[in-house]
Amino acid sequence: MCKALRPATSKKTVPPASKRGALSLIAGPHNALVKIHADASLYAGLFDGDEQASLSIASGRKGYVHLVSGQLQVNGVTLNDGDAALLDNESLVSLQQGKDAEVLVFDLAA
């Protein structure tokens, strides 16, 4: 049986400094800026030059990367504005060699 949840809205500001060269947890079921009632987590980051970050993906989960703007290497593959990558059977999301990159990374149930 599913329990109905009341709709809620939230407006939060994430300072760019907290996303610069890092993945900042924005939304998720635990310890996130915005709590969601789903088995998923959303991270945001800004990357340029030598800045890099990685995110471990547990076995049986998927990673989804959406490059909002710029250019960025994801697990060695170059993404450009608007590109996305679905990472299945990968244990790590590796982000590097950004050029004015803004990225969203999702950790999702398989």
Phi, psi of 62 (to 5 degrees): -125, 150
Q: What local confidence, expressed as pLDDT, does residue 66 receive?
A: 98
Question: pLDDT for 86-109, tens place per residue?
Answer: 999 999 999 999 999 999 999 999
Q: What share of residues in the chain are helix, strand, coil (percent, to 5)?
A: 5, 55, 40
Report the Cα 99 to chain-centroid distance in Å. Answer: 17
Q: What local confidence, expressed as pLDDT, does residue 12 receive?
A: 87
Give which of 75, 76, 34, 35 is closest to 55, Cα–Cα: 75
pTM of the full structure: 0.91
Contact yes or no for 38/29 (Cβ under 8 A): yes
Question: pLDDT for 30-65, tens place per residue?
Answer: 889 999 989 999 999 999 999 999 999 999 999 999
Q: Give me the domains of the chain, ranges plus CATH numbers.
A: 16-109 (2.60.120.10)
CA-CA distance, 72 to 76, in Å (whole number)? 9
Residue 95 bridge partners (DSSP): 53, 74
Residue 2 has pLDDT above 80, yes or no: no
Report the Cα 89 to chain-centroid distance in Å. Answer: 17
